[in-house]
A and B are shown apart, each in its own frame.
Chain A
Amino acid sequence: MLVQIENLSISFQTAHGLSHAVRNVSLTLGAEKLGIVGESGSGKSLTARSILKLLPDSAILTADTLTFDGIDILRADASAMRAIRGRRAGLVMQDPKFSLNPVMSAGQQIAEAWRAHRKNAGRREAMSAAIDLLAQVQIRDPVRVAAAYPHELSGGMGQRVMIAMMLAPDPELLIADEPTSALDATVQAEILRLMEDLVARRGMALMLISHDLPLVSHFCDRVAVMYAGRIVEEVAASALRGATHPYTRGLLDCIPMLQHPQPRLQTLARDPSWLA
């Protein structure tokens, strides 16, 4: 079991008291593709980032168990975390416009990731590895892109750079936090297929976070649905049609489909009991 989370809670101290963003979340992740679905504010990003302890300083993190491959994340110190981050688990974020460093070229950023966990690696070695990685993420002109700056790249290319950067140290787990939400619809599928391909080839585990239920169910083995900081349902992707929790059912019913046109689109009626 790669990731084991039991009773994870994340709260923030605000001017109006304690805000509980994540409440008693438990999940496990093995060598599989897990999708976490939820709307904005459901706590899905925070849950995923807690594995790498990349939460804001003001976050209060508690859990019964929070381990990565047996390593206790809660009690891990800075150098232990540095050994896990990048080297063993990578994080791809939503918008490459913001998640890439604007003043470093794409190649430099990937090379930096490549060198970070390889002692005595030379700069030239790292740069050629970076160009090689860019080719692996299906960028047609890797040399040109390596020299380019993030603002010169399209959204899709930027995201590919991001993926290349996170795969450079050869991690075991890839956490993708809404990797396609900032991309055009046509590019979304390409990027996901790319990730799926790379993950399968390298034998990695994948944690895919999204608000897009059909997308997640398509690319993942298991799906966890989050609402208001809690996991309300956990099913195999193939069994999603038969989900039982009213929130999941509501989400499924709301999806407009060409094959089953409806005169009036469904809306989601929230039941306050879900917050309990």
Chain B
Amino acid sequence: MRNSKLAVFTAVLAASGASWAMAADKTKINFWTWAPPAPVVDKAVAAFEKANPSIDVNVTFLESTAYQDRLPLALSSGDPVDVAAVQTSSMVKLVKDYLEPLPELYDQYGTAPIDKQLAPKALDQAKLLSSDGKLYIAPMGTLGSVVAYYNLDLMKQLGLTVPKDRAELAAFVKTIKAKRPDLVPVAFTGANWFLDEISDTIIEQGAPGWFNKLRYNKGGKFDGPDFKAGFDATVGLYKDGIFGKDTLDLDYGRAVELFQQGNVVMFLQGTWEMGALSAPFRKTNGLKLNNVTVSPLPVMVDGGKPAIRSFIEVGLSVPKNSKHKAEAMKFIQFMTTGDGVGQWGDTLFVVPSMQGYKLPNDIFSSEQSAKDYGVVADLLLNASSDRNNVSDFSNVVGDAIIKSITSGTPTDEQAKYLQGEWDSGRYSNAL
């Protein structure tokens, strides 16, 4: 009997001692995210903890697809999450019921109202995602696609300049094939979703705002002249040998690999690969290719203008049942408009949403890449359409493009087919 009483007493003492110790300890907040890459997140978090010694940040980092399942589950199960990064897709609608509306939080704990801190367009896109017009996420930045990256050293060797339109691109490719047949003139992943991205970008060049009309049900159609023009242009690039059919079996990683190894002159991807232009980023990741620049996709339709579709990425939010909302707010401000931006800004994976942000000068290794970056960043922040993809449907569009390229299926047939699929209810646009 005595022993058990002693045991209980000791346990109580220990417990109260523990809780007292915890009270004197720091505040611990849980941060869930999938992006930017883990080392960058760790760097930013370390900087935050240094600037805020009373706050400890516990990071749960998951890879993107896993994150799509895990975060909604964690929130719906009531797991302790204080700052949740939300993917700027249907995920926002999915989890918004668990999140605290931000304007009020900013007014309560922030240093300034949210609309004074972040770019208006970014905030508009954020509100769009929740479909109730309320703001639940603070976007870190904006990214978009498709842009072209160039190996400037190879271009100098071959006496080439950045092509601005289809004709220049055709000459560009011809020169490379003649002088250096061992190089791949233009490389990118032949995955179906990326071909859809290329086609959408080309459509925007000729008919700005088309994608928004389609996506937000404002009358955009597949079975219409704007889409068909872009589709034709994309397939035509392969027909005329400007894009090589032999690159269709490259996947994302292989295309990056080939570009980095210097086998490719022009590489197409989204703006999230812009880290290749940043000297600090290259150093951290051991990228050897150091004379790279970026430019909007050459204009492929007559009378078109350079275009990009862009959208916010990585929206930071505060779950309703967080017990440390003040600290969470501190962290969010740090990451979106505070010193944290400098921590991840040099990865260039997004253009920060912070109002009035200026990139430090030492990031770029040449005047040209700094200038070119400015052009792309500008285009991103003023894009004609949102890169708000219906991802399962982009696979279908991409497959239709591939089919036309490999088997010659006529554009009209594909356009009708795609319109039928879009309206069918098989895909998540119907949800």
Q: Determine if chain A interacts with chain B.
A: no
